Amino acid sequence: MNNEMKMEFDARSENESFARVAVAAFVSELDPTLEEISDIKTAVSEAVTNAIIHGYDGITDGKVTLYCRLEKDVIHIEVEDTGRGIPDVEQAMEPLFTTKPELNRSGMGFPFMEAFMDDLEVISGPGEGTRVLMKKKIGCTPWIGDGE
């Protein structure tokens, strides 16, 4: 089964729950387990929160784009912002690394995305915005790669 959806919303924190609930509803036709839904919601929440507080630094008229595609039993999720970008992606993905400890950020956003999805790719650079691409296979076995 193939299906896709795309939406754009303001970089406001109240849209974090809207985004994760929308993705959970979209993936429901693949009949995911509660566990899988929970994993996806957490990962989407992390990516969208990053766009809002890091990408746009709290400037709420920035736009976050959320794109999802179902391909057979795999959901592809892309979260994109056109904000400040990440100078060092590798460092940003390290557990506990955060540039905003004063906001009680834990530095666990990317590690949680990595743990709960089968595949995570981050495309970013200073002033270039950020694209987070995630994949998860719905079903009991983890997603392995192309051709699987």
Partner 1 sequence: MEEDFKVIDNYLMVKMPEEIDHHKSSYISENADRFILRENVSNVVFDFEDTRFMDSSGIGILMGRYKKISCFGGKVFAINADHRIRRLLMLSGLHKIVEIME
The residue ranges that bind partner 1 (CB under 8 A) are: 13-14, 16-17, 20, 35, 38, 41-42, 45-46, 49, 52-53, 95-96, 103-109, 111-112, 115
Q: Which is nearer to partner 1, 95 or 127 (CB)?
A: 95
- The structure tokens listed for 125 are 């650079």
Query: Between residues 1 and 34, which has the closer beta carbon with respect to partner 1?
Result: 34
* CB 49 to partner 1: min, Å: 4
Residue 61 CA to its chain's centroid (Å): 20
Residue 84 CB, nearest distance to partner 1 (Å)?
17
Residue with smaller CB distance to partner 1, 3 or 106: 106
Cα-to-chain-centroid distance, residue 54: 13
Which residue in the list 16, 46, 80, 131 is annotated as catalytic? 46
Give the integer Cα–Cα distance in Å for 53 and 91: 17
- Residue 67's DSSP bridge partners are 6, 78
* Catalytic-residue membership of 104: no
Q: Is the CB of 112 or the CB of 143 nearer to partner 1?
A: 112
Q: How far apart are CA 137 and CA 144, in angstroms?
A: 9
Token digits for 131? 């694209």
Catalytic, 131? Answer no
**CA distances for 53 relative to 5, 28, 99, 128, angstroms:** 24, 28, 11, 16
The single residue of 50, 80, 84, 131 carrying the catalytic annotation is 50
- Say whether 3 is catalytic: no
Catalytic positions, written as ranges:
46, 50, 105
